């Protein structure tokens, strides 16, 4: 034996200490296997040697493996590394990765190579892919918006539902600062303050977001700070719910609490609140202010003759006429029934009376029509103006109401204006 040639026993011992399963194949039969291969296949060595390799290849992979084996035998260029499945002695199907080559010796072509068991790796990757698919499915189908940002507020992940909520796709939002999508930067700061003040958690914090089409959307978000393996904060994760419709309903309910449902003017309570604020401003800055009380003449006859629907439409008609004549800064209210009150800020008796006269003219020029009926009606009004810092809103309304009834006593269809300070307010 050549002194530089290793003994066969030593080569076999070396093969048995390799981590990979090693083999040699001639004419499609195993002629050498190491211990790792017998362990992988689950057969003793004597049950593997001289048996066709096709006995151990999984049915669905057999043709692919053998075609590559034959091509390699013919000297064709074939990939030397690929994966397939084997049948083991205990009935399992295992996935292996093979590295194969050709050894030509004594006019014989021998395939040599190694196998690695990659079953656990594939199972892990498959489970991971399935887990990712499950997570993606949840994100794709959840109605709320799931999001993640880094500690700089940059969006790193966001669910596709963001497009329905804000009009931007997830791809468009990722990589963008979250603050860009808030109506006011202060809203974003408010969420961060909530996280800071509540041990890294924010619960149902409401904020206004800017939709792609320019509209505003309201969201309610639950969020928490995420920490890394070193227990250092790495970002914020949360779920945001679009509550725009809820906010709109709340606003409508609040508006209904302020507005007379029939005419759309302020109801009595809201009129008094707005009028009181204007009176305080007038007192503070020494400005003029007038109050007008109006009652529709012979209104009951409309209900009696044409029905309550005609009466309701007449009230709507009158409210629309008031909105045409008076300014947006004036406060218009329905006090009840066919009685209305109007506060005109920064306006004295004469210009205020001119406004009422224009309203009377509007009613005459464009009379109320109900179906084929033209139903003209008139108004009686009392007008009181602010004369003293001692005057309260109650004083002014009471005085205007007295003047209104004076207008009715004098025959209706007229305006009675305060000509001098009310004695009650002067002695108050």
Residue 24 belongs to some domain of the structure: yes
Same domain, 52 and 88: yes
Domain range for 191 is 142-247
Q: What is the CATH number of the domain that holds 268?
A: 3.30.70.270
In-domain check, residue 17: yes
Last residue of a domain, one of 72, 89, 122: 122
User: Looking at the structure, do residues 190 and 315 belong to the same domain, yes or no?
Assistant: no
338 is catalytic: yes
Tell me the C-alpha distance between 284 and 222, whole Å: 45
Q: What is the pLDDT of residue 426?
A: 36
Contact 382, 401 (CB under 8 A): yes
* Cβ(255)–Cβ(344) below 8 Å: no
pLDDT at 345 (0 to 100): 96
In a domain, 112, yes or no: yes
pLDDT value, residue 18:
78
Q: Give a yes or no: residue 272 inside a domain.
A: yes
242 and 263 inside one domain: no
Examine the fold and report which residue of 88, 122, 156 is the final residue of a domain before the chain moves on: 122
- Of all helices (H) and strands (E), which one includes residue 64? helix 59-73
| DSSP state letters, 325-339 | HS-TTSEEEEEETTE
Do 298 and 369 reside in the same domain of the chain? yes
The pLDDT profile of the chain, 428 residues, written as one tens digit per residue, is 455 555 666 667 777 777 889 999 999 999 999 999 999 999 999 999 999 999 999 999 999 999 999 998 888 888 889 999 999 999 999 999 999 988 887 788 899 989 999 888 877 777 776 666 666 666 677 788 999 999 888 999 898 899 999 999 999 999 999 989 999 877 788 888 888 888 888 888 888 999 999 999 999 989 999 888 888 899 998 889 899 888 888 877 777 778 898 999 999 999 999 999 999 999 999 999 999 999 999 999 999 999 999 999 999 999 999 999 999 999 999 999 999 999 999 999 999 999 999 999 999 999 999 999 999 989 999 999 998 878 899 999 999 999 999 999 999 999 999 874 443 433 33
SS3 (DSSP) at 21: strand
**Are residue 111 and residue 241 in the same domain, yes or no?**
no
Q: Does 162 lie in the same domain as 77?
A: no
- Is residue 241 assigned to a domain? yes
Domain end residue (candidates: 70, 94, 122)? 122
Residue 212 located in a structural domain: yes
- What's the confidence (pLDDT) of residue 199? 87
- Estimate to the nearest angstrom the gap between the alpha carbon of 387 and the chain centroid: 54
Q: In total, how many domains does the chain have?
A: 3
pLDDT at position 9: 66
DSSP state of 184: S
* Residue 133, domain member (yes or no): no
The per-residue pLDDT for 129 is 65
- Tell me, yes or no, whether 115 and 14 share the same domain: yes
pLDDT at 428: 31
Instruction: For residues 212 and 343, state if they share a domain.
Output: no
237/264 same-domain check: no
- Tell me: do 151 and 77 sit in the same domain: no
CB–CB of 25/102 below 8 Å? no
273, 338, 346, 406: the active-site residue: 338
Q: Tell me, what CATH number does 193's domain have?
A: 3.30.450.20
Residues 269 and 404 in one domain: yes
Structure token digits, residue 108: 């014989």
Same-domain check for residues 107 and 229: no
pLDDT of residue 190: 81
Residue 2 lies in a domain: no
CB atoms within 10 A of CB 124: 11
Please choose, from the candidates 227, 224, 223, 226, the residue with its C-alpha nearest in 3D space to the C-alpha of residue 207.
Answer: 223
């Amino acid at each position: 034996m050549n002194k530089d040639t290793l003994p066969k026993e030593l080569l076999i011992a070396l093969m048995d200490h390799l981590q990979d399963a090693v083999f040699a194949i001639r004419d499609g039969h195993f002629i050498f296997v190491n211990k790792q291969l017998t362990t992988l296949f689950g057969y003793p060595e004597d049950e593997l040697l001289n048996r066709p390799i096709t006995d151990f290849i999984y049915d669905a992979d057999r043709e692919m493996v053998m075609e590559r084996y034959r091509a390699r035998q013919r000297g064709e260029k074939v990939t030397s590394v690929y994966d397939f499945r084997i049948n083991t002695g205990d009935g399992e199907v295992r996935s292996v990765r093979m590295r194969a080559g050709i050894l030509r010796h004594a006019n014989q072509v021998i395939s040599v190579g190694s196998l690695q068991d990659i079953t656990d790796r594939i199972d892990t990757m498959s489970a991971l892919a399935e887990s990712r698919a499950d997570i993606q499915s949840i994100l794709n189908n959840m109605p709320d918006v799931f999001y993640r940002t880094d500690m700089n507020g940059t969006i790193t992940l966001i669910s596709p539902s963001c497009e329905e909520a804000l009009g931007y796709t997830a791809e468009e939002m990722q990589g963008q600062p979250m603050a860009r999508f808030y109506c006011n930067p202060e809203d974003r700061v408010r969420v961060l303050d909530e996280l800071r003040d509540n041990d890294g958690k924010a619960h149902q914090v409401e904020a206004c977001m800017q939709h792609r089409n320019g509209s505003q959307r309201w969201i309610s978000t639950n969020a928490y700070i995420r920490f890394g393996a070193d227990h250092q904060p790495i970002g914020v994760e949360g779920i945001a719910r679009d509550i725009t419709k809820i906010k709109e309903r709340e606003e409508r309910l609040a508006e209904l609490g302020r507005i007379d449902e029939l005419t759309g003017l302020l109801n009595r309570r809201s009129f008094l609140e707005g009028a009181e604020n204007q009176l305080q401003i007038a007192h503070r800055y020494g400005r003029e202010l007038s109050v007008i009380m109006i009652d529709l003449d012979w209104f009951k006859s409309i209900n009696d003759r044409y029905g309550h629907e005609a009466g309701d439409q007449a009230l709507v008609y009158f409210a629309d006429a008031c909105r045409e004549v008076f300014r947006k800064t004036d406060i218009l209210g329905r006090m009840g029934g066919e009685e209305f009150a109007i506060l005109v800020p920064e306006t004295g008796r004469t210009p205020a009376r001119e406004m009422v006269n224009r309203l009377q003219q509007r009613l005459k020029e464009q009379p109320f029509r109900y179906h084929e009926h033209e139903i003209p009606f008139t108004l009686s009004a009392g007008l009181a103006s602010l004369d003293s810092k001692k005057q309260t809103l109650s004083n002014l309304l009471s005085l205007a109401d007295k003047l209104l009834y004076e207008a009715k006593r004098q025959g209706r269809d007229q305006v009675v204006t305060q000509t001098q300070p009310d004695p009650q307010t002067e002695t108050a």
